A and B are shown apart, each in its own frame.
Chain A
């Protein structure tokens, strides 16, 4: 499960030796995130984001457990119980703003983490399973975030739940029945709020479990690196601890700084004002928009406005789920053996277009549906699917990659000698 030169756990202290015989948890930690895990020496700051995502999940679980002690999942009192957390619970405002903005921070670092994976080919052999589990984690996060947004029972909570559960009614014949069964009623109400709360409490722990599998699967081949070249020998790696624990601490500091600025000085920046209005089934908001992290997918949903064999709504729902599910096939869609985009000039250009495309989709998802906005959304959605399903497989075959370095160490030494052909444009 590791390189032969990995350090071995050898406790000297009698108590630790005793513990190691009975229950070798310290050994597990040592081999997983300690000195026993050799990691390529050339990782850049984009490799901090996995640890940051773990930190964000921990923050969410801790603040969430305390919030659950004060929250009441009942349509009649949920909104008021949030206000009582904000006003009467000791440091309640801090917990609630930390949890609400923590969700944004979690999604933000996970998006960068996924982007790192796309740029450096982290989904390719031998790490396909790491990627697949990552997509599962992403889906769990999206479900958790959506259900969490419903809990304050504001206008956007209610109408967001109405729109999202409405997807199920797009299923032919049985859709409406399924929707009513899932909601426990004809519209979101107590039954829905209660089950969302239950699942919102459960799924983060499921996520934590899948994260353990994600890390386990990662430790079999070991971490990738910006050159995408395999580790050839001991000179290519350093022990995770203290080298990357020290580097992750720097990343954690910057993460906490951004988080603190958001939480303490602009806690409602990413929220929607309508969610400070209590849910009212009789009054529809002028624009129902999801949280920022769902906007690109919402734009894809809204872009399908034409019926063709299937109704437009069903196309939209299929496309929206498809836009995420296609990530499961990415390791096989991209057949290029070169991992890092630093050595794939054509792929790199298309990836830059994809990044821009996602920002356009994000804008479209939140904007008023003027004709030119819809038009932009349709073009951007088309590029999204074309990128993954059509362009990527073709580029993988036709592209002429740049020469790879012979080893990680060679690349590092060349960079320090000022030759620097491997310097990442993204990282610098």
Chain B
């Protein structure tokens, strides 16, 4: 009885799937899916070659500091970094005094209240503060950016597929003129005014204007030549750190853990051989 009912249920599912399959095929033939511009012209991200890649990768502190400088002078005009505190900069090699100075000198002050009147006011940042948002709220951010919302960058390197390389490619090599071939094939896909063609952005048209426009836009204190490619790499390294500040500790712990477990495996294997030596199995 169970088998009889089961075969009926099975036949019903298979029959309905057959109908669905017929629908899929006929739809495919009569109404083939249109090719899309993003399908054909979206590019896979270039390799930023960051030293934090790989199983034992570490941050290049000077590079991450350079990336912080790019963030400070370029990105932070529009983007927040709300999960990172000034004190965290100690991890990338700034001294306590430097962190205090960076916090105190940060252009955007920390929202606060007037201690006497209770009215809304601001105060200079201290190391324990998170990086303040450049806009008071989402409405202000959209109003200042042609109705686009600049996303928070704290986790950007993990919030996109292949994030570090994506950031590097997007800001360093993504802004090109819209290919003539694209416009010939997809006349409707012209980049609307107010948006910018970017070959690494998912739908090819990004609201962010090119942030890195010329070599030397930032003057690095360590003497590194600030080409657009270099600045893009450095900011990608910085955002890799903000997204995963414990990366080095994780790699080091992993190295120790794997050695520990290998020793355990070796001992367990020996015990197993020893226990079973007289029993055929």
Contacts and interface: CB of A to CB of B under 8 A. Distances in A.
A74 B261 CA distance: 38
Interface string B243-268: 10110011101110110011011001
B27 A371 contact: yes
Contacts of A332: 2-3
A312 B19 CA distance: 11
A274 B160 CA distance: 7
B3 A335 contact: yes
Given A265-B55, A304-B16, A390-B7, A83 B269 contact: no
Contacts of A191: none
Contact of A312 (B14, B20, B276): B20
Contacts of A31: none
Interface string A358-378: 000000000000111011001
A261 B251 CA distance: 10
Given A329-B2, A413-B280, A389 B10 contact: yes
Give chain B's interface secondary structure class: helix
Given A246-B276, A276-B155, A381-B17, A390 B24 contact: no
Contact of A273 (B15, B27, B160, B272): B160
Interface residues of A, number: 66
Contacts of B268: 246, 249-250, 252-253
B24 A87 contact: no
Contacts of B27: 371
Interface string B201-222: 0100000000000000000000
A211 B264 CA distance: 27
Contact of A333 (B6, B28, B32, B275): B6
Nearest to A391: B10
Given A257-B258, A389-B6, A303 B276 contact: no
A289 interface: no
Contact of B257 (A86, A260, A273, A371): A260
Contacts of B154: 83
Interface of A: 41-43, 80, 83, 86-87, 93-94, 97, 238, 242-243, 246-247, 249-250, 252-254, 256-257, 260-261, 263-265, 267-268, 273-274, 276-277, 286, 303-306, 308, 312, 315, 319, 322, 326, 329, 332-333, 335, 370-372, 374-375, 378-379, 381-382, 385-386, 388-390, 393, 412-413, 416
* For the complex of A and B, 4 pairs with smallest distance between CB atoms: A264-B254, A389-B10, A253-B265, A276-B159
Interface of B: 2-3, 6-7, 9-11, 13-25, 27-28, 32-33, 55, 83, 88, 151, 154-155, 158-161, 163, 202, 243, 245-246, 249-251, 253-255, 257-258, 261-262, 264-265, 268-269, 271-272, 274-276, 279-281
